[in-house]
Chains A and B, each alone.
Chain A
Amino acid sequence: MRDLSLHVLDLVQNAVAAGAKNISLLIGEDGEKDLLSIEVSDDGKGMAPDFAACAKDPFATTRTSRKVGLGLPLMDMTAKRAGGRLDIDSRPGEGTKITAVYRLSHIDRPPLGDIAATVKIIAAGCQGIFFRYEHRKGHNAFVLDTKAMREILGGEVDFGESAVMEWLDGFLREGLLALDKTEG
């Protein structure tokens, strides 16, 4: 994985595979605390406690538990290397929350990468799933909620439709650029 936005795509795919109906992605960049946090939570089927305990270990993962595979171990590794950690909070039947924390200024922290491309592809592919993305940077915040999009577009329009994708692309890129604006 070249950057964090690809890890995010991977985490969300896990949530989709777990049968989630609601997926939330929260990214926080806090310069004062020198922290970058990525949190993906879902209401999917969750993991059994013994599986959640070994999900970060690639060698403890058997073929039957392949739905997680190398994704979490790789992310755990990059987080640890950048002065952070990866936490798994999962309950069977309730859902899973994965939190990755990095030291924002750490030299080994991978770049966030093209998060707009990741979010666009998630939103386009999330048929029947509500996906909410919130990105906070200092005091600024940007939110994309596919529930709000669905309310506006009605039930018949596919998010994969190119006109919607184009809007989504512009909305994300402009919204993320605005995060860098200082107040005042």
Chain B
Amino acid sequence: MKSLEELKKLREKLQSDTKLRAADGIKVIVGMGTCGIAAGAREVMAALMDEVKKRGVAGVAFQQTGCIGMCDKEVLVDIISPGGPRITYGNVRPSDAGRLVAEHVVNGQIVKDLVVAKSV
């Protein structure tokens, strides 16, 4: 049974990893306006989280944002590496989560065929 007690135990474990997390600091942002949600943003976010968990990657911060005006390209996912450009991926499906995490989050390689915008 998952309880608040169990969460307390988690705390000690996690605090010892804090330094590592601060050093990594890669951000994954999923667009969750009405347009994004209707296009399956929640499922994409869940798939990305699953993939990160499966690979045991530490230090990935998930965030959500509202509509940014590219509703026809939803689901939109931004990945920002510390000091790197902000890459916006469009028309992302849950099945793309594996590639985005393995290639971009882990190896720093941009998944070119899904890119719709790039900004510094």
Binding site for B on A (CB under 8 A): 1, 6, 9-10, 13, 16-17, 66-67, 69-71, 74, 114, 117-118, 120-121, 124-125, 127, 148-149, 152-154, 156-158, 160-167, 170-171, 174
**Shortest distance in angstroms between B17's beta carbon and chain A's nearest beta carbon?**
8
Give the secondary structure class of A's interface.
helix
Chain B: minimal CB distance from A69 (Å): 5
In the complex, which residue of chain A has the Cβ closest to the Cβ of B38? A1
Q: How many A-B residue pairs have CB under 8 A?
A: 99
B-chain residues with CB within 8 Å of residue A161 when the two chains form the complex:
14, 21
Instruction: Knowing A17-B66, A118-B42 are in contact, say whether A71-B14 is a contact too (CB < 8 A).
Output: no
* B102 CB–A CB distance under 8 Å: no
How distant is the Cα of A17 from the Cα of B31 in the complex, in angstroms? 12
Q: Which 9 A-B pairs have the closest CB atoms?
A: A170-B2, A171-B2, A160-B62, A71-B34, A162-B53, A125-B64, A157-B14, A17-B66, A70-B34
Contact B38 A125 (CB under 8 A): no
Query: Bound state CA distance, A46 and B14, in angstroms?
Result: 37
* A153-B10 in contact given A6-B37, A69-B34 (Cβ < 8 Å): yes
Within the complex, which residue of A117, A121, A152, A156 is in contact with B64, where a contact is CB–CB below 8 Å?
Answer: A121
| Interchain CA distance A66-B58 in the complex, whole Å | 36
On chain B, the number of residues with a Cβ less than 8 Å from chain A's Cβ atoms is 36
**Docked CA distance A157–B56 (Å):** 17
Query: With the chains together, A132 CA to B45 CA distance in Å?
Result: 21
Could you pull out 14 A-B pairs where Cβ atoms are within 8 angstroms? A10-B34, A13-B33, A13-B64, A74-B34, A121-B32, A125-B32, A152-B8, A153-B10, A156-B15, A157-B15, A158-B21, A160-B60, A167-B7, A174-B1
Knowing A9-B42, A149-B7, the reply to whether A162 touches B14 (Cβ < 8 A) is no
Q: Does B120 contact A (CB under 8 A)?
A: no
CA distance A17 to B60 in the complex (A): 23
Interface centre among A1, A6, A13, A156 (most CB of B within 10 A): A13
A171 to B45, CA, bound (A): 19
Query: Is B6 on the interface with A (CB-CB < 8 A)?
Result: yes
Q: Does chain A have a CB within 8 A of B52? A: yes
